[in-house]
Amino acid sequence: MMYTFDSRVRYSEVDEQGDITVCSIIDYMQDCTNFQTEDLGIGVVWHKEHALMWVLTFWQILFKRYPKMGERISVGTQAYGFEKMFGYRNFLITDEREETVAIANSNWVLMDLKKNRPRIVTPDIADIYGKAEPLPMEYAERKIRLPEGGEKKETLVVRDYHLDMNHHVNNRGYVQMAMEFIPGNILIKELRVEYKKQAVLGDEMWPVVFRAEKNEIIVSLENAEGKPYAIVQFFI
C-alpha cells in the first residue's frame, strides 16, 4: 500500500518561471520516505539505535510536468521488493487532477554501521514496510556507462549546506552540483543517478561533463583519482 502526504508548492521551491525545481521534487520524495519510516516507528532514532542506515545507490525519476507555485500535490512512496541487502522503492507525485507529475524508481542498500558493510534485509525488517506491486514505468539499468570525451570542469568543494543528518552530502546535493552544467532554459525529462561513494565535508570533486547524445548530458562528479562519487544522467 502506498504511503502518501499532501502538500502545496511553495514560493521557496520554484524557479524564476514559477515552476517547481528538480531538486524540490527530489526533496519531496526524500521527505516522503522519511515520513513513512517515522510513522512506522522505524525512523531516524530507531535506525541510530540499531546502527542501521539505508543508502541510496540508484535513482531514476521521470518528470511529466513541473507544477506552478501554489499548486496542490500529493506525494507517495512504496516498497516493492527486497533481495539480500537491497531494497526497491517507487515514488509518485500527482496533482489535484490525480495526474502524474513525477514517477520514480530507486535502489537502496541496508548498511550495518557497526561493521561498516551491507546487511541482509531480514523478514522482520521487510515486513514493516510491506510490499506493493511495482508502479508501471520503464525501469532503467542501475549502471550508467560513461562515453568518451568528457570535459573536466573546475573543482567543487563540499560545504556545510551540502550535508544531511548523516554528515554526508545529501542525495539531492549531487544532483544540485551536476545541474550547474545544465543550461537554465533546458527542460529535464528524466534523471538518473548512480551513487558510488559518499562525500563528506571538505571533499573536492572534479565534475566531468559528457554530451552523450543530442538529448543526453552526463555529469560524473569525481575525486582526484578519477573515481566517481556519483554519476548524474540528464535526459532533456
CATH number of the domain at 3-129, please?
Answer: 3.10.129.10
pLDDT band, very low/low/confident/very high, at 206 (cuts 50, 70, 90): very high
pLDDT band, very low/low/confident/very high, at 226 (cuts 50, 70, 90): very high
pLDDT band, very low/low/confident/very high, at 218 (cuts 50, 70, 90): very high
How long a stretch of residues is the chain? 236
Q: Give me the phi and psi of 126, to 5 degrees please.
A: -60, -40
pLDDT band, very low/low/confident/very high, at 213 (cuts 50, 70, 90): confident
Residue with cell 507555485: 69
Between 183 and 141, whose confidence is greater?
Answer: 141
CB 188 within 8 A of CB 182: yes
Question: pTM for the full model?
Answer: 0.94
Q: Where are the domains of the chain?
A: 3-129, 151-235
Taking domain 151-235, whether its CATH number is 3.10.129.10 is answered by yes
What pLDDT does residue 167 have? 87
Are the folds of 3-129 and 151-235 the same?
yes
